[in-house]
Structure 1
Amino acid sequence: MKNILLVNDDGPFSEGVEKLKERFENNGFSVFVFVPHQEMSACSHSLTLTKPLHVKEIKKNYFIVDGTPSDCTYLALFHFLKEIKIDYVVSGVNRGYNMGEDVFYSGTVAGAMEGFFHGINGIAVSAKDFSNIDKIVTHFVDFFKKLIDDKLPSPFLLNINYPEGDIKGIKFTSLSSRLYPGNVEECVDPRGVTSYWIGGVPAVWNGEENSDINAVKQGYVSITPLKADITDDSLLEKLR
């Protein structure tokens, strides 16, 4: 029986993590859930080093952490589950796509990548919303069962995004480009204090034919293998 560490960045009781946990367990997997105490979208791969972390087990093998998704994975692997061999770190299902440059901002991807850093297979799973969540978790767990039988080089890191509505199939993709136009909204609260909101402007997409965004737009599941080495090899050669 495979042991799965299930994390997310949507916080506790997200429909995505709850339904995925249930589907995994119904298929005979052992699941341990470690999730942040609140939504931690766009927290990237941050670890909390400036304050102590608190962890509460709210039900059997289900823990809430007052930290980031990376904190959740780290605490689980090196303290709470250190006597258990975790085979996979699965992060999601996240509400909101993680494609293109989003993989650098994403807490969902970071939760899976933290396991990858320590030699454990990591999979990040996202969707635009949960309108077809039952189809998503059924499809993903079926794919997952095939994946673990295929003896891929380990560790691996996959970033998976699901389309809306019906699922036509799977495409193996590269990252697109998803840039957010720079936007800061200034506002003043009732006490006269000025504050600032970052974002709020729709992203601009640019993707080649085999990119994640094109696959999802066409109704396919996008699966993009990632790695930690982001060295620009062509520039490196020019610098040398």
Structure 2
Amino acid sequence: MESNRQMSGDLPTVLVTNDDGIDAPGLQALVRTLVSSDLFQVFVCAPDSEKSAVSHCITWKNPISAKPHDISGAVAFAVSGTPADCTSLGISKALFPSMPDLVISGINMGSNCGYHVVYSGTVAGAREAFLNGVPAVSISYKWAHGISNVNDFALAAEVCLPMISSILAEIKNKTYHHNCFLNIDVPTNVVNHKGYRLTKQATTHLKTGWRQVSSDTQGGKMLSTMTMDMDASSYSESEALNLKDEHRFFEREVTGSPRGEVGCTDLDLFALRDGYISVTPLGALSRADSDSHIYFEQWLPRVPEFVASSTP
């Protein structure tokens, strides 16, 4: 049952989306925390099924469906599109009567640090809001198999609640910084976290590879944060030639560890590893470093020389 304050419409409006799907425990825990605080009017517009690792993919020419979904205390819709679609629809006023004050994407099952933000549908849900001038945050929890449990999502939501409240207060006072959106990562041991740490996006990147599998193993779940390596020993060259006309199946393989800067505590990946809640301001674009600009500034004037030399 909605409170009188919620029904009066004098509360800030929060739109929640994710990439794990509307029934995912991370989103459910976040919505419960927001609703129970009695501080927000909560809208939910999230994918009707898992859309992990779809990045900023959008549905272009085909229509998408939005079906009412029962989430206590919130007005919710399950949408057939991507996280970016859900945010775009949710802030459009086509589905809800007003534009939200803040978009929250998450809580994702698994961290989103470094270059993972490029693949992440969770981060894209927040980025889409930012592209449209709406303040946004993405929230991820560093799930560890054998250690974490679904109750940790509620704890992650609780430790993020002060940040959410503070952002909305700044927005109300017209003092919030609108030139970025925030990517928040919560450590595995959330109960004993060491506090908030302002961080920068690391340049860590997992090695990408594939391995060939039999057709009866297809359809397994693939995660955006996996480490991949090609199993080159699976087939000999002659066997590969014999299979050239056959329908083959490949899947990403988990091996190795991420590469990246060592000892940089102000980077998201390492702050999270050290037990801090990483708070990283992100922009819409990934700009090259200044050294790259200097290099290409010298390279570009020389291009006509190569065009001339290649002319017959």
Change (3 A) 1:17 1:148: same
Q: Residue in 2 aligned with 1:123?
A: 137
- Deviation per residue, 1:14-57 (Å, 9 max, x gap): 11111111111122201111111211111000111142211111
What SS does the corresponding residue of 1:72 show, helix, strand or coil? Answer: helix
TM-score (norm 2): 0.72
For 1:12, give the aligned amino acid: I
* Shift in Å, 1:144: 1.6
Q: Residue in 2 aligned with 1:93?
A: 107
1:51 aligned residue (59, 62, 65) = 62
For 2:154, give the aligned amino acid: D
Q: Residue in 1 aligned with 2:268?
A: 212
- Comparing both structures, which one devotes a greater share of its residues to helix? 2
Q: Is residue 121–residue 154 contact of structure 1 (8 Å, CA) maintained in 2? A: yes
Q: Residue in 2 aligned with 1:227?
A: 283
1:239 aligned residue (296, 299, 302) = 296
Residue 2 (str. 1) matches residue 12 (str. 2): yes
Change (3 A) 1:239 1:155: closer
2:169 aligned residue (132, 149, 162) = 149
Q: Give the Cα separation in 2 of the matches to 1:199 and 1:53.
A: 32
Q: Residue in 2 aligned with 1:179?
A: 205
Question: Once superposed, what is the RMSD of the aligned Cα atoms?
Answer: 2.0
- Identify the range of structure 1 (50-59 vs 162-171) with the bigger mean alpha-carbon deviation: 50-59
Unaligned runs of 5+ in 1: none
Q: Number of aligned residue pairs: give it.
A: 239
Q: Is residue 180–residue 199 contact of structure 1 (8 Å, CA) maintained in 2? A: no
Q: Give the Cα separation in 2 of the matches to 1:168 and 1:69.
A: 31
Q: Residue in 2 aligned with 1:198?
A: 252
The correspondence of residues 76-115 of structure 1 with structure 2, limited to 5 A, is 76-78=90-92, 79-81=94-96, 83-115=97-129
TM-score (norm 1): 0.92
What SS does the corresponding residue of 2:89 show, helix, strand or coil? Answer: helix
Q: Is residue 120–residue 156 contact of structure 1 (8 Å, CA) maintained in 2? A: no
- Identify the range of structure 1 (56-65 vs 215-224) with the bigger mean alpha-carbon deviation: 56-65
The alignment-based identity, stated in percent, is 29
Q: Which structure is larger by alpha-carbon Rg, 1 or 2?
A: 2
What SS does the corresponding residue of 1:204 show, helix, strand or coil? Answer: coil
Q: Residue in 2 aligned with 1:29?
A: 40
